[in-house]
Amino acid sequence: MNTASHPRSWVTSANDHADFPLQNLPFGVFSRPGFGRRGGVAIGDFILDLQTAHEISLFNGAARVAVEAASRGPLNEFFALGGSSRQALRTELLHLLDEKSLQRERLQAMGTRLLVPMADCQMHMPAQVGDYTDFYVGIHHAMNVGKLFRPDNPLLPNYKYVPIAYHGRASTLGVSGMPVRRPSGQTLKPGAAVPDFGPSKRLDYELEVGLWIGQGNEAGEPIHIGKAGEHIAGFCLLNDWSARDLQAWEYQPLGPFLSKSFATSISPWVVTAEALAPFRAAQPTRAAGDPQPLPYLLDEADQNGGALDIDLEVFLLTVQMKEQGTPPHRLALSNTLNMYWTVAQMVAHHSVNGCKLQAGDLFGTGTLSGPEPGQFGSLLETTEGGKHPIALPNGETRTFLEAGDEIILKARCHKEGEVSIGFGECRGVVLG
């Protein structure tokens, strides 16, 4: 990939950084010793402190309004400003952090007051989440899971007409690094007539992408499909931890409940829609015989460029692997092109009944598996419901997660002629 013509930063660690080069500039909320939570922007191995940047009047006009909203943390007020304010701030940040910036010497002289080493910081939830909705737009995951639970009818007939979703639990969302406690609940063992109660024995992860809602809508006013993308502030990684044995017993007739509501982890950085613009793609063509989306879900521009091309990876690091000093083992490599519905279609459908969306609401895509082994975004699929354990390089095996297991999600955008950007990591360790 030839990226020599692309701008570089005077923050040298940003140049060729795996996740946070100048072309990314994601937003987040952080703290460091002696200071409270505040907004920041990731650049290489550092966080640009937006509160300090605002105090020294680095920005003017719309960018100044945006940095004032983003500097305080959480980012709800910043999200609510919408795309024009977000773009104004991004444009100014690109100029300030460019290696040719006229303010380079002044900014460098400020040292860690302005640019804080990321290693010295603690990350927090980017926004206060009022509502969390988890979708089911990964068609390969839907087919694989359907075959396990409903072999004769794996994909319900509404799937190809409706972006399926359920209402998640916002109170149990947490940022990368939060511990995950094994949930308890009812399970029905094979052949049993009545359920047992106890800790889940089939704890799983789900490889997902999260969408942060920016500007919302008024109650009763649907968001048009052609405008839906304007209501998305950015994206993150999302792991919707799942208790598969609880799920199998409870999911009919009203869908997931306790099997999903105990923990959901997200990556701390909000990768903006603007940073992802070079990695937009045409929505994959539907299979022959599949219905066209209904008119309120169909927009030509969205079909031609509303999909995202993002590589998604999931890794497992066991206690024994940590003790042996061996690297995490990659369990799957998938891609967001495995989404049957676009993010704009998700927003349009969620609001079509008049549902009020608000800045800081979070959507999950659902598990984004690919069609082949090695591309499955959950252990449920990879082990076929526990029938075929995974053999790890150090001799261990896994059907579902065990105490001390750490799951690591990563995402990367690649395109010929473009600078690659990433999302950082979404980590979680299972306790007990």
* Residue positions annotated with a catalytic role: 141
The letter for the amino acid at 48 is L
Give the C-alpha separation, 246 to 251, whole Å. Answer: 8
- Which residue from 368, 175, 145 is spatially nearest to 259, judged by alpha carbons? 145
Helix (H, G, I), strand (E, B) or coil at 315: strand
Give the C-alpha separation, 144 to 51, whole Å. Answer: 47
CB count within 10 Å of CB 330 equals 13
The H-or-E segment that residue 149 falls in is helix 139-149
- Listed in sequence order, the residues at least 6 apart from 3 whose beta carbon sits closer than 8 Å to its beta carbon are 417, 418, 419
β-pair type (280-281, 307-308): antiparallel
Give the C-alpha separation, 118 to 176, whole Å. Answer: 14
Residue 402 DSSP code: -
Give the C-alpha separation, 341 to 365, whole Å. Answer: 9
The letter for the amino acid at 322 is K
- Which residue from 417, 426, 204, 419 is spatially nearest to 312, judged by alpha carbons? 426
